[in-house]
Copies of this chain bind each other. A is one copy, B any other.
Amino acid sequence: MKRRPLLESALLGLLAQRPMTGYGLRRIFATTPMGLFSDSPGSVYPALARLERDGLVRASRQKAARPGGRLLEPTRRGRAELRRWLSLPVTREDVARRMDELLLRFAFLDQHPDAAAVERFLAALAEEAAAYAKELRAQARKLEAAPASTGRLALEHGIAAYRATARWARRARDAWRKSHASDAI
């Protein structure tokens, strides 16, 4: 049960949205707010080679727009692997230490075949983020330094950030419900 590197999941998710070349993927990392990933060839091409080796992605030189290019798309196994990843539960551990993975998963979650997955994810995230904010608040109360230390203030940043995440999750859930209400009738 080793965790797949985030970069590979990001590549797989992007290719499931739209097949493209390695260069196209790199451009996305370079020009959009997905820029927490490096667009360097030395990270992207080896990761794609691993996905091909594992049979999750297939390349075609014929379908590429230019000679030399390789159009990449997920295989059936690749799409199954993506669904498996998207179906993972939202745990306290994820919230405390892997928020970026959670956000990445969520960004691809509208590709999940189960339409209810988005609402479930947001409900779980709202709950876990609020609960973790409370945990941090409890930690902060233990410190109680008379002149506020920057350590204490940094902890309060964490509290504020998790509260903002919980608030966002509740609002996103409402927005999602409204814009997908027609399906429910």
Point out the residue from B104, B109, B150 that lies within 8 Å of A106, measured CB to CB.
B150
Residues of chain B contacted by A97 (CB below 8 angstroms)? 35-36
Q: A96-B35, A160-B164 are in contact. Are A153 and B175 (CB under 8 A)?
A: yes
Residues of chain B contacted by A167 (CB below 8 angstroms)? 160
Interface residue ranges of A95-143 to B (CB < 8 Å): 96-97, 103-104, 106-110, 118, 136, 139
Task: Give bound CA distance, A53 to B110, whole Å.
Answer: 50
Point out the residue from B103, B150, B168 that lies within 8 Å of A108, measured CB to CB.
B150
Closest to A17 in B: B151
Interface assignment of A161: CB less than 8 Å from any CB of chain B = yes
User: By the criterion CB–CB under 8 Å, are A109 and B150 in contact?
Assistant: yes
Residues of chain B contacted by A36 (CB below 8 angstroms)? 97
Point out the residue from B32, B148, B155 that lies within 8 Å of A139, measured CB to CB.
B32
Give 1 or 0 for each of A145-185: 1 = CB within 8 Å of chain B CB.
00111110111111011011101100010011001100000
User: By the criterion CB–CB under 8 Å, are A107 and B151 in contact?
Assistant: yes
User: By the criterion CB–CB under 8 Å, are A107 and B32 in contact?
Assistant: no
A residues lining the B interface (CB < 8 Å): 32-33, 35-36, 96-97, 103-104, 106-110, 118, 136, 139, 147-151, 153-158, 160-161, 163-165, 167-168, 172, 175-176, 179-180
